[in-house]
Amino acid sequence: MSDRTRRTARWVVAVVIVATVALGCSARPKVAVFLQAAAAVPTADLEILKNYASQRCSVVAGCDVNTQGDLMLAQRLTGSYVGNSMTVEGMQRLAEALNADHVIILRIVEWESRISYRPERSLVLLGATAFLDTTLQILISPLGLLFGIDKVATVGMFASVFSPRGDVEFTTSVTCEDRPLFSLLTADPVEAAKEAIDAALYQIAVAL
């Protein structure tokens, strides 16, 4: 085989490889992810979670995801707004405008922070300081009371997946809590919501 023939063969192989990779990338499904609040969620937190849901969907499912701008524009152009309910025809128009293979709607149905008192925590701290002198015990005793205060951030989420035809493909519900060690200062519903988004997306990725 001449050098020219070898070079031609290499170019053919390279073109085939590039074409295969390009086709593989273009075959990635496109998904629209909507996040809504059916509970009292601060607007700033909701915007953070919308962006987080889109980014995590791309990572977890390995798909292309419509931007928030795409979602807003498609709803405005089609007159089909994702709310508590939507007709099949509205979902079809929305999916067509977004060129989406799946439409995911994540709805936050619970968003709350609860504070409770756990006396066993206070007793542990007070017991650990029993060997100290009286003055130090008096100074530390308020910390024991604060240590017993427990704050829990809870977020509940309902997820639905629709096909371009408007059919329901999958539904699931997730409830997550954020209860770190120093929960009174650091428990955050946003962190609980992120865990709920991840859990819902993993279930959807496995199901579909």
Q: What is the pTM of this model?
A: 0.74
Is residue 183 scored above 70 in pLDDT? no
CATH number at residue 25: 3.40.50.10610
CA atoms in the 13 A half-sphere facing the CB of 157: 30
Q: Binning pLDDT at 50, 70 and 90, where does residue 22 land?
A: very low
Name the residue type at position 97: A
Residue-wise pLDDT tens digits, 62-119:
899 999 999 999 999 999 999 877 889 999 999 999 999 999 999 999 999 887 776 6
Would residue 20 be called left, alpha or beta, if left means φ above 0 and alpha means ψ between -120 and 50 degrees?
Answer: alpha
Between residues 191 and 23, the one the model is more confident about: 191
Range of the domain at 149: 3-207
Number of domains observed in the structure of the chain = 1
- Cβ atoms 95, 75 nearer than 8 A: no
Gap between the Cα atoms of 107 and 84, Å rounded: 9
Other Cβ atoms less than 10 A from the Cβ of 13: the count is: 10
pLDDT, mean of residues 48-57: 95
Closest among 55, 86, 87, 85 to 68, alpha carbons compared: 55
Residue 91 is encoded by which pair of tokens? 């979902």
Residue 120 is encoded by which pair of tokens? 């066993």
